Amino acid sequence: MDPRITIETGKAILGIEFGSTRIKAVLVDEDHNPIAQGAHEWENQLVDGLWTYSKEALWFGLQDCYASLRADVKARYDVEIEHLAAIGISAMMHGYMPFDAEGTLLVPFRTWRNTNTGPAAAELSKFFVYNIPLRWSISHLYQAVLNGEEHVPQIAYFTTLAGYIHWKLTGEKVLGVGDASGMLPIDPATGNYRADMVEKFEKLVAPKGYSWKLRDILPKVLPAGAAAGRLTETGAKRLDISGHLKAGVPLCPPEGDAGTGMVATNAVKPRTGNVSAGTSSFSMIVLEHELSEPNEMIDMVTTPDGNLVAMVHCNNCTSELNAWVKMIREYQALLGPIEDKHDIYRILFTHALQGDPDCGGLVAYNYVSGEPVTGFAEGRPLFVRSASDKFSLANFMRAQLYGAIAVLKIGNDVLFEKEHVKVDRITGHGGLFKTPVVGQRFLAAALNSPISVMETAGEGGAWGIALLGSYMVNGGTLSLPDFLDKVVFAGNTGTKIDPDPADVAGFEAYLANYKAALPVEAAAVRYKK
């Protein structure tokens, strides 16, 4: 159908995702093809030692993103968006947003990036006999308890960023099971929070005498496909300040970026996996069974339909790489006007293919913030070389690209070598894969596994949550895996690159240098303030 008619007749579906550096909106047609996009650039702020985005930034960003989408629709099709078939909201997972009984945010949003929750995460992991990561919402809550923060007795509800935006658009305090699994562990048998852990936590904090119980302040958990409320009049005005969008649009359960990444890469069945590589990176491998034991490098979460997933989450990925590219672009600008600022990525990434497989001995640490997988509560971006190393632009760029995925490699070695997890297909998506071949080839070397990338690799989670919106209204009796296989992807598995033996050996040599020089990174954290 003509996109203009799709929009005019209210059959388009909207997906919005709050990423770390960009809020993105994607409008899709009945065949799930993107027909319009909008975006808003933003950055987190370090306030009082904690990474956050202000409440004002959240709502201005959402409204500006939607206004950008409206402008794109107007320019392409000369029509306004008034009705939609469905909306889905996604956001970076985990973090902490507590509210009082009146719905007032008690402290600024604490993002996944914060590593101040170490004592709470360590104590809860031991208490639950289950790995509880630093960024999970329960870690943030318990750290606030341990700190004796004055807001804790006032808590009436807490949720993630996606849950908060969805709540304010619909009035519903719900969360998709995938995002909920980043608040507190999920029992795959019930599709709900682990009852034993809820009970244990309530006993743990009982001596504090709080008026709330954990079970009462958590969002309700919903699986993919469930109805999760409708856009209210107030919600419509919050989203579209122009007033054209009408209330009543159904919303699917809000999800985290990990879940939408799995959907966008058709990696929700056991023995499939995906790697998302942007500001942060994470791999998601859908498991056939539980792991043999808890491991602090592996987070146990779920797919949007409740299957168990082993997640390796790295706080840092492309931020430091982007900083170097920006500096090189500044130098390029001194030489003359730049026609396309994004062209520099293609040029530099492609040039990295000319570098030595081991980067000539160069090592790069992308630790803009702490990196729990390697044991760092704080980070310092660092580039290390010896006088005898082969210092060239190709090796430098290759080292930066290797450094962006080195921690991911360390975590996944636990899954593949210790737990003997089997995976049939791994798909990459996110900014690292926008330049064809390069990121895909280096990830294949790092994981020593074939890596597929689809044409939609750059669409990311906004497209993924739009697909979940479509599944809610169009899925019928199909399971989520069948809906994705048969309706959305129809057999498309993308373009595959197998690992090159020379690259694999080179990455192993790079990683050996990387691990050996970690004390240098530790010294940088200790002495460079």
Tell me the residue ranges of DSSP E strands in 278-404.
Answer: 281-286, 299-302, 308-314, 363-365, 382-384
Cα 77 to its chain centre, rounded Å, is 32
**pLDDT exceeds cutoff 60 at 458:** no
In angstroms, the Cα distances linking 9 to 12, 16, 73, 200, 487 are: 8, 20, 14, 51, 21
**Dihedral (Cα; 501, 502, 503, 507), 10-degree rounding:** 100
Q: Identify the pLDDT of residue 493.
A: 75
Of 18-22, 197-201, 384-388, the least confident: 18-22
Of 148-157, 413-422, 439-448, 485-494, the least confident: 485-494
**pLDDT exceeds cutoff 90 at 391:** yes
Q: Which tokens belong to 437?
A: 């071949």
Residue count of the chain: 529
> What are residue 37's DSSP bridge partners?
26
**Dihedral (Cα; 527, 52, 198, 207), 10-degree rounding:** 70
In 3-state terms, what secondary structure has residue 301? strand
What does the alpha-carbon distance between residue 436 and residue 458 come to, in Å, rounded to a whole number? 11
**pLDDT exceeds cutoff 80 at 459:** no
Q: Identify the pLDDT of residue 33.
A: 93
> What are residue 15's DSSP bridge partners?
26, 88
Asked if 284 contacts 269 with a C-beta cutoff of 8 angstroms, the reply is no
Residue 524's contacts (CB-CB under 8 Å, 6 or more residues apart) are: 380, 382
How much is the average pLDDT of 392-402? 98
What DSSP line would sit under 222-264, residue for residue? Answer: E-TT----B--HHHHHHH-TTS-SPS--BBPPPEEHHHHHHHH
What are 62-84's pLDDT values in tens digits? 999 999 999 999 999 999 999 99
DSSP code at position 442: H
Q: Which tokens belong to 187?
A: 């029992």
**pLDDT exceeds cutoff 70 at 456:** no
In angstroms, the Cα distances linking 504 to 35, 227, 453 are: 39, 46, 19
Q: Identify the pLDDT of residue 372.
A: 87
Q: What is this structure's pTM?
A: 0.86
What does the alpha-carbon distance between residue 294 and residue 306 come to, in Å, rounded to a whole number? 19
Q: Where are the domains of the chain?
A: 319-406+501-527
pLDDT-based confidence at 22, cuts 50/70/90? very high
How much is the average pLDDT of 243-255? 98
Q: Which tokens belong to 120?
A: 């709470």
Q: How many CA atoms lie within 13 A of 316 on its CB side?
A: 31
pLDDT-based confidence at 341, cuts 50/70/90? low
**Quick one: which H or E segment has residue 168?**
helix 161-170
pLDDT-based confidence at 280, cuts 50/70/90? confident
Q: Encode 350-365: b = buried (16+ Cβ within 10 Å), e = exposed.
A: ebbeebbbbbbbbbbb
Q: Which amino acid is at 41?
A: E
Asked if 507 contacts 356 with a C-beta cutoff of 8 angstroms, the reply is no
